[in-house]
Amino acid sequence: MSYFRITLHRSAIGLPKRTRGVLAALGLHRRGQLVFHPVSAQFAGMIMKVKELVRVDEVDRPLTRREVYVERRPEPGFWVESARGAFQQGQEGGQQVGGGEEGEVRL
């Protein structure tokens, strides 16, 4: 069973009451909020009503609150792009320089 992953991307301030009602029925109350609903004509029709305001993906299962939290958490640490040269030459000044993605160096 697949689900719609719906994110409220644009605010409904100043839009008709019907539109805001559809968002409330989808469970979207604030911008950036994420909800999951099963793929069905009923929810597809609701998405059609607010298609300008939301971003939609199809996913296999709904994420738990914990998974959403982990997904939104930024990566720990920081990236130093100017350390690229140091990475190529090896360790310098006692700094641990580890490899990151292509074109990036992680300290």
Q: Where along the sequence are the contacts to another protein (CB under 8 A)? A: 2, 4, 9-10, 12, 14-15, 39-41, 44-45, 47-48, 51-58
Q: Work out how close the CB of 6 gets to another protein at its nearest, in angstroms, rounded to a whole number.
A: 9
Q: Work out how close the CB of 49 gets to another protein at its nearest, in angstroms, rounded to a whole number.
A: 8
Q: Give the separation between CA 38 and CA 65, rounded to whole angstroms.
A: 17
Cα 39–chain centre separation = 20
Q: Give the separation between CA 107 and CA 99, rounded to whole angstroms.
A: 8
Using the minimum distance from each CB to another protein, give the nearer residue, 10 or 61: 10
Q: Work out how close the CB of 71 gets to another protein at its nearest, in angstroms, rounded to a whole number.
A: 19
CA distances from 32 to 10, 17, 22, 27, 61 (A): 8, 20, 16, 12, 19
Q: Work out how close the CB of 50 gets to another protein at its nearest, in angstroms, rounded to a whole number.
A: 9
Using the minimum distance from each CB to another protein, give the nearer residue, 14 or 76: 14
Contact 3, 27 (CB under 8 A): no
